């Protein structure tokens, strides 16, 4: 019986492809081999703004903010009109909800968060130097943490603290220069308030898990600065830097949100606002 594998031992017969097909194929192969890697270029753009790190520099810094909204198209229109934000696809989320240039990095999101619930408002991610150790610290102090996984931007773990607040941990590539604690330009996040049922327990948890230290109610040595307050709202509320608070208040109202009258605080001019989907935030105008 003839061995069917004998055909493999036959002499190799040269082929004579169509010249136009061969030229087109050669051009495609050369283009693919010589093209610059788009992932590396995108990562450089994402992680830095004028040399400033958009994802924190120290353990405990905010590395990313996911803003949960029911209607992402409305969110893009509102925050674009109020803060001048522009949007592009992200490394993982490709629908065009990644905010360009803002510090820390921000993206709009309508899906579930680490705890499995839909969050209306901000969910924070924090930078750590050793994700495995940070996951162990979260678990050891009463929180929950998923196993670390690799994403295009680095290592990530989904977490929930001991009071039910969703958050993420990120181990990222080496950072650029530290960003200012209260933002640098209009549209940056200037301050964050984290609301928890038990303020003392929250300070103890994040102090143990992320090394946060507090003075006068706010973190010291994190960017942006974070305060922990009590109340029924569970999660984070953002403050944004603007150059002209009165003009920004008008933009909020014109875009369908609500805004209180500007008030003078020891640290800045401030207005309490709500977007057109019911998300509370503050606007800050700092002394020049």
- pLDDT tens column, 103-133: 999 999 998 887 788 889 999 999 999 999 9
Q: Has residue 265 been placed in a domain?
A: yes
Distance of CA 133 to the CA centre of its chain: 22
Q: Has residue 5 been placed in a domain?
A: no
Q: Has residue 46 been placed in a domain?
A: no
Q: Has residue 40 been placed in a domain?
A: no
Q: Has residue 24 been placed in a domain?
A: no
Domain total of the chain: 1
Pairing of β 62-68 and β 106-109: parallel
Q: Where in the sequence is the domain holding 270, given as residue range(s)?
A: 51-285
What is the per-residue pLDDT across 40-98, written as a single tens digit (0 to 9) for each? 334 445 689 999 999 999 999 999 999 999 999 999 999 999 999 999 987 666 678 99
Q: Has residue 234 been placed in a domain?
A: yes
Q: What is the pLDDT of residue 11?
A: 54
What average pLDDT does the segment 163-187 reach? 94
11 or 38: whose pLDDT is higher?
11
Q: Which of 2-11, 51-60, 78-87, 205-214 has the lowest mean pLDDT?
A: 2-11
Alpha-carbon gap, residue 33 to 236, rounded angstroms = 45
Residue of 163, 128, 167, 127 whose CA lies nearest to 145? 167
- Here the CATH number for the domain that contains residue 196 is 3.10.180.10
Q: Has residue 20 been placed in a domain?
A: no
Q: Has residue 2 been placed in a domain?
A: no
169 neighbors 135 (Cβ within 8 angstroms): yes
Place of tokens 């002209």: 244
Q: Other CB atoms closer than 10 Å to residue 38's CB: what's the count?
A: 8
Q: What is the pLDDT of residue 65?
A: 97
Residue of 168, 160, 162, 159 whose CA lies nearest to 55? 168
Q: What is the pLDDT of residue 27?
A: 47
187 neighbors 102 (Cβ within 8 angstroms): yes
Given a cut of 90, whether residue 8 has pLDDT beyond it is no
Is-cis flag, bond preceding 40, omega within 30? Answer: no
């Amino acid at each position: 019986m003839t061995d069917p594998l004998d055909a493999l031992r036959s002499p190799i017969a040269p082929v004579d492809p169509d010249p136009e097909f061969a030229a087109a194929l050669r051009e495609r192969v050369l283009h693919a081999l010589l093209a610059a890697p788009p992932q590396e270029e995108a990562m450089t753009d994402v992680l830095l703004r004028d040399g400033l790190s958009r994802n924190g520099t120290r353990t405990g810094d905010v590395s990313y903010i996911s803003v949960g909204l029911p209607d992402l198209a409305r969110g893009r229109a509102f925050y674009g009109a109020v803060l001048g934000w522009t949007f592009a696809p992200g490394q993982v989320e490709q629908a065009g909800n990644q905010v360009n240039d803002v510090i820390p990095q921000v993206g709009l999101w309508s899906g579930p968060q680490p705890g499995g619930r839909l969050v209306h408002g901000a969910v924070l991610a924090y930078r750590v130097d050793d994700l495995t150790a940070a996951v162990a610290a979260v678990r050891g102090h009463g929180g929950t943490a998923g196993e670390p996984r690799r994403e295009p931007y680095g290592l990530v773990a989904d977490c929930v603290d001991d009071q039910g607040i969703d958050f993420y941990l990120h181990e990222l590539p080496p950072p650029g220069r530290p960003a200012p604690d209260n933002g640098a330009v209009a549209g940056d996040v200037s301050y964050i308030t984290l609301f928890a049922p038990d303020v003392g327990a929250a300070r103890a948890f994040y102090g143990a898990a992320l090394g946060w230290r507090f003075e006068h109610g706010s973190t010291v040595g994190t960017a942006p600065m974070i305060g922990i307050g009590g109340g029924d709202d569970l999660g984070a509320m953002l403050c944004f830097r603007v150059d002209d608070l009165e003009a920004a208040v008008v933009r909020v109202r014109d875009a369908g949100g609500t805004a209180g009258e500007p008030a003078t605080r020891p640290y800045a001019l401030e207005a309490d606002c709500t977007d057109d989907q019911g998300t509370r935030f503050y606007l800050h105008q700092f002394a020049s």
